[in-house]
Amino acid sequence: MDFIKDPEAARIGIKAIQQHLDKILSIEGVRPIETVGREFDPYYQHAAQRAHDPEKPDGVILEEYQRGYMLKEKVLRPAVVCVNRHEVPTAETGNDEDIDVNSDNNGE
Is 106 one of the binding residues for other proteins (CB under 8 A)?
yes
We find the least distance from the C-beta atom of residue 101 to other proteins, in angstroms, to be 9
With CB under 8 A as the rule, give the number of residues binding other proteins.
28
Residue 8: C-alpha distances to residues 3, 12, 13, 26 (Å): 8, 6, 9, 27
Judged by beta carbon, residue 21 or residue 91, the one nearer other proteins is 91
For other proteins, which stretch binds (CB under 8 A), given 1-9, 10-18, 20-28, 93-101? Answer: 93-101
For other proteins, the binding residue among 46, 53, 56, 69 (CB under 8 A) is 46
CA dihedral 75, 76, 81, 86 (to 10 degrees): 10
Q: Which residue among 33, 35, 70, 78 contacts other proteins (CB under 8 A)?
A: 78
| Contacting positions for other proteins (CB under 8 A) | 40, 42-43, 45-50, 59, 78, 83, 85, 88-95, 97-100, 103, 106, 108
